[in-house]
Amino acid sequence: MTDIITAPVLHSLNPATGEVVGSVPITPVREIPAMIQRAREAQREWRRMSLEDRAACLVRGGKVLVERADELGRLLTREMGKPLREGVGEVRGCGAWMEEETRDIAAALQPDHLEDERTISTVFHDPYGVCAAITPWNFPISMPHSLVIPALMAGNTVILKPSEETPLIAQAYVEVLSAFLPSDVLSIVHGADEQGKALVAGDVDIIAFTGSRETGKKILGSASGGLKRVILELGGKDPLVVLHDADIDKAARFAALNSFRNAGQVCVSTERIYVDERIAPEFEQALLRHAGELPVGAGEDESTRIGPMINLRQRDHVLSHVDDAVKKGAHVLGQGPSAQGNFLQPTVLTGVSHEMDIMREETFGPVACVMRFRNDDEAIALANDTPFGLGAAVFGEEEHAAQIGRQLDAGMIGINKGCGGAAGSPWVGAKQSGYGYHSSREGHRQFTQARVVSRSKPS
Ligand code: NAD
């Protein structure tokens, strides 16, 4: 529960200025069961519509998102802090991909036809019923979007519980889509953990969650009573391994961008950097140079590349990780993390070790932590020494890097690039970073119950 909730109203604060951007009413917990019931009734009709008709409703909403991208992108930036170009791009991206996305999901949900010598079967991919989608603040429209669209396309109705940090853009998103949907097919619950808990405990059939590992564990525990279906996309501690034969400047540029983008508040941010000791001094200097090319400021300022942290609590969490590291022997290279309000300067730490919190827990801030290794086996062991397993990257000669990449315990591994896969790949975390996944044919099918209908072949 955050300190910004004071009354039945949730104020959304601009992290750059502390000003109130707007407010929404907090949903009383006692109203949540009735909302779920309405969603259940609406689902009976929604599931009868064809995939094409469901897609057509969503595509209309997508067009409005594109038309209103500048306005809604500014709202997103004022509420969450990221640079305006990224805020507008996030809104436009959700709208612009809608047509292709719904087409891909419809293709993924077609029934499968199977037969052997004696039996003919059809595997249908049917909706579960009511889906609770619970989302974080760091990509406050694309995170809801990536759960809401596949859930709706599959014929579920959805109740979205967005982060209490970014309720306004989520409200706008739901209003845009709902204008083209039957009532109660998509609804929204505002509030923090209390509302999230009530939704998970309510009569929902599937829970799709993106957020921290700690919250994910609580949700899984609560959902286990009713054996509800759960999809969890959780936090990460992504390693970047820089091999001796890497293009040093390219690796350093990637390290800076991927450590500092969105002020480090990305689930697949580079949180740990392992560099071959033979090239470490040159890499560290290049990293420092690239870090200096990213101006920090308010997202609405044109020159800003790195916005503020979402709130003081997150800022202090990052500072406490840096403090702990420095106390245990890490060096701050160049400028330190000097904080002004919610703003943190990008920081490069060297000489870090696995005894430090900053190499073990998710930091979620603009800090690049560099540790040197002596040989490839040590690099692999260090990269895998974590309970997390979301993304990873390896920079080096292409074959060498690919061979190291295959040995990393992550769900998504980039070779001389970030971890995102080609269109149609799953977004998937290994180990404690995920439980289920989304995107891809298999990801879309997770929002459905498989049902096999079989008959005997005539003899
Ligand atoms: P969070 O876990 O604190 O909150 C996420 C959502 O869960 C919010 O809407 C919150 O109100 C709700 N919530 C909190 N406690 C709850 C409970 N007990 N029951 C039900 N709902 C509850 O995470 P956050 O700070 O909003 O987001 C940052 C985290 O999200 C980071 O760990 C980041 O790595 C992760 N993340 C993961 C991905 C991914 O794809 N794997 C993507 C984006 C963010």
Q: Give residue-wise pLDDT tens across range 445-458.
A: 999 999 999 999 99
218 lines ligand 1 (CB under 6 A): yes
Calculate how far, in angstroms, residue 368's C-alpha sits from the geometric centre of ligand 1.
23
User: Would you state the CATH architecture of domain 2-233+433-455?
Assistant: 3-Layer(aba) Sandwich (3.40)
What is d(CA 341, CA 183) in angstroms, rounded to the nearest whole number?
A: 42
pLDDT score of 169 more than 60: yes
What is d(CA 283, CA 366) in angstroms, rounded to the nearest whole number?
A: 18
Q: What is the pLDDT of residues 59-103, one digit of tens each?
A: 999 999 999 999 999 999 999 999 999 999 999 999 999 999 999
267 lines ligand 1 (CB under 6 A): yes
pLDDT score of 121 more than 70: yes
Concerning whether 233 is annotated as a catalytic residue, the answer is: yes
Half-sphere exposure of 312 (CA within 13 A, CB side): 8
For residue 55, the model assigns a pLDDT of: 98
Locate tokens 């690919």: which residue?
A: 402
- Of 386, 389, 393, 392, the residue nearest 433 (C-alpha): 389
What is d(CA 123, CA 250) in angstroms, rounded to the nearest whole number?
A: 47
φ and ψ at 401, to 5 degrees?
Answer: -65, -40
What SS3 state is found at 193?
A: helix
- Beta bridge partners, 428, equal 437
What is d(CA 119, CA 123) in angstroms, rounded to the nearest whole number?
A: 13
Q: State the maximum Cα–Cα separation within the chain, in Å, rounded to a whole number.
A: 80
For residue 3, the model assigns a pLDDT of: 47
With vertex at residue 419, the alpha carbon angle to CA 413 and CA 420, rounded to the nearest 5 degrees, is 125
Q: Are 24 and 12 in contact (CB under 8 A)?
A: yes
pLDDT score of 261 more than 60: yes
Q: Compare 339 and 7 and report the one with higher pLDDT.
A: 339
φ and ψ at 351, to 5 degrees?
Answer: 65, 30
- Of 447, 330, 459, the residue nearest 43 (C-alpha): 447
203 lines ligand 1 (CB under 6 A): no
Q: Where in the chain is the domain with CATH 3.40.309.10?
A: 238-420
Calculate how far, in angstroms, residue 309's C-alpha sits from the geometric centre of ligand 1.
16
238-420: CATH homologous superfamily?
Answer: Aldehyde Dehydrogenase; Chain A, domain 2 (3.40.309.10)
Give, for ligand 1, the residue of 90, 204, 267, 388 to mutate: max count of ligand atoms closer than 8 Å to Cβ.
267
For residue 2, the model assigns a pLDDT of: 47
For residue 335, the model assigns a pLDDT of: 79
Half-sphere exposure of 165 (CA within 13 A, CB side): 22
Mean pLDDT, rounded, for 363-390: 98
Q: What is the pLDDT of residues 191-204, one digit of tens each?
A: 999 999 999 999 99
- Across the chain, mean pLDDT equals 96
For residue 7, the model assigns a pLDDT of: 52
pLDDT score of 5 more than 70: no
